[in-house]
């Protein structure tokens, strides 16, 4: 067993010994650990320092970690330990189809769901599908020809993985810009497994001016610690670029802006370069200034509070929303959203997460 294998074994042993870790995150963090240890762009000293304290090596520069401040920032390892914060109720929102049923009273703020494609079940019509359409590829094609644009999403996908923007124009069919004729497009549809075909959300014109190529989603962190005390302590906007294509994820080349939760003002545009956020003032493609007021922001806050209090069992959520001309639409809800900007978390978020950490350690008698 070489040194690399010994380190991986030691971490797996540590996780298995420490009561409360889920098997899912033991596997997930082990993979993260392997990737980090292999990354020679960080010194061995930095890698050891980071992993000893529960962080990925790139967090040192991303968060500005030092011996003096690292204990004030939620580490990757401790956040993995918290999974699942919402216990088994996470399943209500982790799956996009379950979310649609659970939040039926708030259907106005959800995309229309048309079809569900599963390889072992073929194509099933969903609640918003026109009755006259068939439950086959012909039905999907007919709907696309009528709507001109649709979205295909993995039922349980996240990070924009597996997302397809479906289009029909000039007699041809497109998936993320790749052109198909009718037969090849139907074969493409049948290649999908556990995909939801939904309405394609058109974002608000003011935000579309900044970047028209992808829906510029907003991540809104909502905490409902006791079921009746919902707060919205943190939010940021993701903005797509030509580089990120039809998605707006920072890891794919997108951008982020901070959001003042009280006022809805977005500002301080940033890009991620070598795991470090760098400030930018203008969008690189449209040259629009990365500053303004999020439209319909008061409606967003009011509705997300109502949704969270409707499902009081869910105390930690990351809503991904798209602002539209007449309101907003929920793209997905994350029950354990990533620590993209933990170094910027306000006191309310840190207080909640570290309190949850202490409660879990106490429950499992872990020091």
Each residue's pLDDT tens digit, 332-367 = 999 999 888 999 999 999 999 999 999 999 998 887
CATH of domain 87-108+204-335: 3.30.470
The token pair at 185 is 């497009």
pLDDT < 70 positions in the chain:
1-18, 157-160
- The Cα–Cα gap between 308 and 329 comes to 15
222, 308 contact by CB (below 8 A): yes
Taking the chain, what is the end-to-end CA distance rounded to the nearest angstrom?
30
Query: How many of the other CB atoms lie within 10 Å of CB of 132?
Result: 7
The token pair at 193 is 């497994």
- The Cα–Cα gap between 306 and 164 comes to 31
The pLDDT value given to residue 47: 86
DSSP of 146-203, one letter per residue?
HHSEEEEEETT--TTTT-EEEEEETTEEEETTEEE-HHHHHHHHHH--SEEEEEPPPP
- The Cα–Cα gap between 267 and 270 comes to 9
Helix axes 137-147, 182-191, angle to 10 degrees: 110
- The Cα–Cα gap between 213 and 37 comes to 36
139-172: pLDDT as tens digits: 999 999 999 999 999 998 665 578 999 999 999 9
- The Cα–Cα gap between 302 and 35 comes to 41
The pLDDT value given to residue 225: 96
Taking the domains of the chain in order of start, what are their residue ranges?
A: 3-83+356-363, 87-108+204-335, 112-199
- The Cα–Cα gap between 274 and 259 comes to 23
- The Cα–Cα gap between 300 and 235 comes to 11
Q: Which residues pair with 289 in a beta bridge?
A: 282
Alpha helices in the chain (DSSP H): 3-17, 23-38, 44-52, 59-63, 76-82, 91-94, 96-102, 137-147, 182-191, 205-208, 297-310, 347-363
The pLDDT value given to residue 206: 96
Residue whose C-alpha is closest to residue 267's, from 298, 299, 235, 244? 235
For residues 53, 15, 354, 274, the Cα torsion angle rounded to the nearest 10 degrees is 50
The pLDDT value given to residue 159: 58
Q: What is the DSSP letter of 83?
A: -
DSSP of 237-279, one letter per residue?
EEE--TTTTT---GGGT-EEEEE-TTT-EEEEEEEEETTEEEE
DSSP of 43-63, one letter per residue?
-HHHHHHHHHTT--TTHHHHH
276-280 and 164-169 beta bridge pairing: unpaired
The pLDDT value given to residue 10: 58
């Amino acid at each position: 067993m070489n040194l690399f294998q010994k380190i991986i074994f030691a971490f797996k042993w540590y996780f298995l010994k420490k009561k409360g870790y889920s098997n899912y995150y033991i596997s997930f963090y082990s993979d993260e650990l392997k990737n980090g240890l292999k990354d020679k762009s960080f010194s061995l000293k930095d890698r050891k320092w980071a992993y000893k304290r529960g962080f990925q090596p790139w967090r040192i520069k991303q968060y500005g970690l030092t011996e003096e401040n690292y204990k004030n920032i939620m580490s990757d390892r401790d956040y993995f330990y918290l999974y699942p914060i919402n216990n088994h109720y996470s399943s209500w929102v982790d799956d996009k189809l379950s979310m649609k049923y659970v939040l039926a009273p708030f259907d106005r703020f959800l995309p229309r769901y048309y079809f569900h494609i599963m390889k072992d079940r073929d194509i099933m019509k969903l609640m918003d599908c026109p009755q006259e359409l068939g439950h086959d590829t012909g039905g999907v094609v007919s709907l696309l020809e009528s709507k001109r644009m649709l979205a295909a999403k993995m039922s349980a996908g996240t990070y924009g993985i597996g997302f397809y923007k479906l289009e029909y124009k000039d007699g041809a069919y497109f998936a993320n810009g790749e052109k198909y004729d009718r037969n090849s497009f139907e074969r493409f549809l049948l290649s999908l497994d556990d995909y939801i075909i939904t309405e394609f959300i058109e974002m608000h014109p003011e935000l579309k001016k900044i970047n028209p190529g992808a829906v510029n989603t907003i991540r809104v962190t909502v905490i409902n610690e006791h079921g009746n005390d919902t707060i919205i302590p943190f939010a940021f906007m993701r903005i797509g670029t030509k580089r990120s294509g039809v998605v707006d994820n920072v890891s794919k080349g997108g951008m982020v802006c901070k959001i003042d939760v009280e006022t809805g003002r977005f500002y301080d545009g940033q890009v991620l370069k070598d795991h470090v956020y760098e400030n930018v003032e203008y969008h690189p493609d449209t040259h629009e200034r990365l500053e303004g007021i999020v439209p319909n922001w008061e409606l967003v806050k009011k509705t997300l509070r109502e949704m969270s209090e409707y499902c009081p069992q869910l105390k930690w959520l990351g809503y991904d929303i798209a602002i539209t001309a007449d309101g907003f639409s929920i793209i997905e809800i994350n029950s354990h959203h990533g620590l993209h900007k933990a170094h910027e978390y306000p006191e309310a978020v840190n207080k909640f997460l570290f309190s949850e950490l202490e409660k879990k350690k106490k429950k499992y008698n872990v020091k």
